[in-house]
Amino acid sequence: MVSSVVDGVALRGVVGCLPDQRESVTDLARRFGDEAATRIAKATGIITRHLAGPDLCTSDLMEQAARRLLVGLGWEAASIDLLVCVTQTPDQPLPGNGALLQHRLGLRKGMVIIDVTQGCAGFVHGLWMASSLVKQMGGRALLLVGDTTSRLIDPDDRSVAPLFGDGAAAVALDVSSAAAPMWFDLGSDGAGAPYLSVSGGGMRQPGMAPRLFMDGTQVFAFTLREVPGSVNAVLSCAGWTMADVHHLVLHQANAQMIRHLAQKLSATPDQTPITLTERGNTSSASIPLALCDALAGALTTQPRRLVMSGFGVGWSWASVAMVCEPLVVCEMMLATGRNCPAETAPSATDAER
């Protein structure tokens, strides 16, 4: 594991964006039967999930969240110095979503863009990367996280189809000498790769759609084995006990899992929001979406001591302890559809002109 502290960087705002299309337990019952759908909902705590329709890509959700965030902050797009884009469902193999969004958002030429392939630990990894880099560079950073995981799932696979929803979030950071430190703990164990995966590239047969595979038992065991130690590490670095923490925001994977982790960490239900009931597992976006869902009122009015922890594919895990000063904006929105037409390459004739 790696422990790191970043000081002098402030979190200014968070906006979450969800597709307006939803699938409920009632919809699942039509495919799997009433008894199976009820059993799945009881085991996972998930009742409804937002799913991206054919007219929405991951970049569309990120773009709309970023636009709303910039307006809410009163920041000009040209004032952003660093863009970190975290997704495991990019629109296309290359270029990454970062380049597409730099152009579509009107961010300035010459800025730094980093695309990160990360899953459920991706928000905290991205926060660490963005805050560390913008501290060195100076200026402002935009962190975009999100996935359209439903595109990787067989809708008839009852082991994963009822679990995953789609969503994205935009987070704004800037350098501030008054900002309190952020204490990070990050780690990985590649031995977990076979238990949560999507076959692709040379492994996938031509013409075969990529499909997500998950061994839930192994995921649960990994989470209980690694996450408490990571959370306790950042508490120790901050000099806090769990009683000092206002909110413990865990990756929203499974309600039962969150309750087990909270119990192991001596956190109360009031400290530990569970927002996946109407969202499902939204991968890297789940923590910032939980902030917008459950904590917007608190985060925009008073300082809050936060501990956030993401964990999943890889295996990978990442936790952060931080004092969050009142945010300028913290809100949720529904996607309104694609704002821009799909990017098209210039024709040979155009290239010759």
Q: Where are the alpha helices (DSSP H) in the chain?
A: 25-32, 34-44, 58-73, 97-105, 122-137, 216-238, 255-264, 286-294, 296-299, 348-352
Look at the chain and count its residues. 353
C-alpha distances out from residue 259 to 42, 127, 185, 264, 283, Å: 14, 25, 21, 9, 18
The catalytic site residues sit at 120, 251, 281
CA 310, chain centre distance (Å): 9
224: which 2 tokens? 């209980």
Q: What angle do CA 308, 126, 254 make, to 5 degrees?
A: 45
Task: Identify which of 15, 328, 12, 49 has the alpha carbon closest to the alpha carbon of residue 169.
Answer: 15
- The whole-angstrom separation of Cα 107 and Cα 109 is 7
Tokens 């929105």 sit on residue: 333
